[in-house]
Amino acid sequence: MRRLQLVPYNTNLNFMGFRFITFIIAGAITLASLTGLMTKGLNYGVDFRGGFILEVRTPQTPNIPELRDKLSALGLGEVVLQEFGDARDLIIKVERQEGDDHAQENAIERIKMTLGSGVDYRKIETVGPKVGSELVQNGLKAVAFALLAMLVYIAVRFEWQFALCAILALAHDCIAILGLFSLLPFEFNETAIIAILITAGYSINDTIVIFDRIRENIHKYKKLSIGELINKSLNETLSRTTLTATTTLLALVALYLFGGKVISTFSLPIIIGIIIGSFSSICLAAPLLSFLKLKRGEEGKG
């Protein structure tokens, strides 16, 4: 049976020939992201900014889109609805209101009036700004530790040159996603941390596949220069990279189009992250190796 081949087998794109163009693009993305983070900051959601959370059970299965519209019309700012457990169970998150405790109590009463009678309020708790700040720090620490663990893994499996290039590409991906949440009207919440980690995981997996081929070709083709080896390796893995990215994006686009508001908001940053991750593994991580002196071993001499 013939395998699906999105990219012709004999493709010979000169990635190394336009590496400086892709470096400029990556630099522009990084600069724009850092500028957005420093000037606009992040649009923190309820999880990080503080607010209150209601855990309720409605007498009947609620119409989530209709209920979300009603609660949004109250003018309380960000309102997040999440289903959990039974179909009648809901978690309602509302951002902290301006004013004292009376303002918070008034907002809760307005929500109760909108929900109507017969609702079982199982839990009502407040998330203070201090707790939200700690969540932000813990989330960013989780990303930093994940990147560090990947760095150690690559340094052990390959050489330090591979680890350095991979971590630079990963840093580019994470900064780009953070910039996305800063420059576009996306809320930075717990799902944003997940989006960053998914992007990093996808990108490093793609990068390792390419690095494996480069290391294999270093010992296989003794007379090729490092630039030619990288080019050859990228072309040999391009079909796999394209196929993996395409199938992943098809699933994510389906979630974005048909998954509803909450899932769409979650899947869009991941879609962009997959594109950025594929770009960095092909056009950033591998070409950067040409600037470092790779060990070619005894088989690489001649």
Q: Are 149 and 137 in contact (CB under 8 A)?
A: no
pLDDT in tens, 140-177: 787 788 778 877 887 787 778 888 888 888 889 989 98
Task: Return the residue matching tokens 């580019």.
Answer: 172
- Which structure tokens are listed for 294? 């790779």
**pTM score, two decimals?**
0.74
What 3-state class would DSSP assign to 141?
helix
**Backbone Cα Rg of the chain:** 24
CA dihedral 16, 20, 25, 29 (to 10 degrees): 110
Lowest mean per-residue pLDDT among 98-102, 151-155, 193-197: 98-102
What 3-state class would DSSP assign to 221?
coil
Question: Which one-letter amino acid corresponds to residue 140?
Answer: L
DSSP strands (E only) in 152-233:
none
Work out the pLDDT band at 3, boundaries 50, 70, 90.
low
Answer yes or no: is pLDDT of 236 > 50.
yes
Nearest 5 degrees, angle CA 239-CA 26-CA 172? 90
Q: How would you class 240 by CB atoms within 10 Å of its CB: exposed for 0-12, middle for 13-18, buried for 19 or more?
A: middle
